[in-house]
Amino acid sequence: QTVAVWGILLVVIASFVFLTIYMRQLKSRPAKAPAAPKPPAIPWSNPVLIPAVILATAIITVMITQLILKPKTAPATILQVIEPSPLASPSLKPQEINIKQEKQVLGTATPKHLTVPADSSVNIRSRPSLDAQVVMRLKTSVDIFVFEQNSDWSRVGFSPDDLKQSWWVSSQFLD
């Protein structure tokens, strides 16, 4: 938008320059009747028009170049803002956490109720770890399906068909 405004401004200024040059040429001609028609003069022979033509050509070239080189990107849209979890400890590295827990594979989707504390949210993570990426946040309590359980974590989905998803939630929120 800024380039377009500057381009319009330069075109207006160039128009005033051409108008001024034209008005001076009209005033400088005598008001006598033409004696005999002369062959048309070459416009380049007038030294006043040369800088004006160069200026107009430069303005047009810059505007066309800006339009061609302008990146054709769509505005970015933010689908979901995920804030870092305050429970994650930045001092612990993933390789230092050694989780050796027994898994309980349920075989089928077991329906459970996920309870979200008042004025809070529950993080759904990509792995059963506090330092794992937060996939989504639930702000309301929902009925979900549990596919697998560790002692502290449960692999969940919103329907029995979500078995291939790897969404993990802390088991303390499940009833």
Same domain membership, residue 111 and residue 169: yes
Count of structural domains within the chain: 2
Q: How confident is the model at residue 102 (pLDDT cuts 50, 70, 90)?
A: very low
Q: How confident is the model at residue 161 (pLDDT cuts 50, 70, 90)?
A: confident
Between these two residues, 113 and 151, which has the higher pLDDT value?
113
Mean pLDDT score of the chain: 77
Domain hosting 126: range is 104-173
* Both structure tokens of 56: 């107009």
What is the structure's pLDDT at 5?
87
Q: How confident is the model at residue 93 (pLDDT cuts 50, 70, 90)?
A: very low
Q: Is residue 146 part of a domain?
A: yes
pLDDT exceeds cutoff 80 at 64:
yes
Q: Is residue 9 part of a domain?
A: yes
Between these two residues, 15 and 2, which has the higher pLDDT value?
15
What is the structure's pLDDT at 28?
78
Q: Is residue 51 part of a domain?
A: yes
Whole-model pTM?
0.40
Q: Is residue 77 part of a domain?
A: no
Q: Which residue has the tokens 């792995």?
A: 127
Between these two residues, 49 and 101, which has the higher pLDDT value?
49
Q: Is residue 45 part of a domain?
A: yes
Same domain membership, residue 109 and residue 55: no
- The DSSP secondary structure of 116-163, one letter per residue, reads PPTT--EEEESSSSTTSPEEEEE-S-EEEEEEEE-SSEEEEESSGGGG
- Rounded mean pLDDT, 118-131: 89
What is the structure's pLDDT at 16?
94
- Give the CATH number for residue 123: 2.30.30
- Rounded mean pLDDT, 74-101: 50
What is the structure's pLDDT at 63?
87
